[in-house]
Structure 1
Amino acid sequence: PMEPPVGGDHNPVWQNCNGDVYTAPIENEHAVHALEHGAVWVTYNAKAAKADVAALAEKVRRTPYTLMSPVADQKDPIMLSAWAHQRSVSGAKDPNVDKFLAEFVQGAQTPEPGAACTGGVDR
């Protein structure tokens, strides 16, 4: 019931999530499948500071099992989502960004640990 979603029905094809940064919205159903593979989805809306978006994009590009995209109708400017988990952060320097990534990238919540983050949808 949350936006972006953190589980539920999803497309059989996952969104590529090997540090992939998307500048346009992606389909929730593909992203949720990536979460099932153990990815963390970094999302932002128009209220997010451009500097934070750029810094987070660099972090995502360096982190396997992550992806990033805009989500216009989410409640907070920057959000982090994993399978069954979500939190808002104040910006790229918020210490909770690294904590969330450390806990949930291929974390214990992952329904399909080790599943691919490449070979899926790339746009």
Structure 2
Amino acid sequence: MKQIIMNETDLDWRKWLKNGDQYLKAATPKGEKNRFGADIRYNLLSMSLEGYVMAILDYHKKLPDNHTFIDLINGLETVMPIDETLKKRILQYENIQSICSIEKYHRSSPTKEELDDLKGAITEISMIAHKTCV
């Protein structure tokens, strides 16, 4: 079996980090009102999480098994310890949209409180990414 070898041009943690920042900013309401509904904000936050975790993993020349919340967090744990409370905060929201499974396809709309909590947890991951990727 041929081994895949990554070099510096294969991935770029800087792009992932920038994407994470842009998606987090887009998911953040300006004032009391957001131009996006709850479902789109959830997806923007999910893409932000992906950007930050992928930046850290790429920085360490690692890849996750997949891009679900659990796979991203498990991948992150291969390069650094993750606070158990932070991990649980993120993983509790993975099933708001289970769209990768054919048998168990499920979508629901997150509440404002869920979005606020998820955003707070992802903001913590953002700070970790910005400290790690230098």
The answer to whether the superposition gives a TM-score over 0.5 is: no
Structure showing greater relative contact order (alpha-carbon pairs closer than 8 Å, 6 or more residues apart): 1
Rg larger in 1 or in 2?
2
Give me the TM-score of the superposition, normalised by structure 2: 0.29
**Greater helix share, structure number:** 2
**Greater strand share, structure number:** 1
Give me the TM-score of the superposition, normalised by structure 1: 0.30
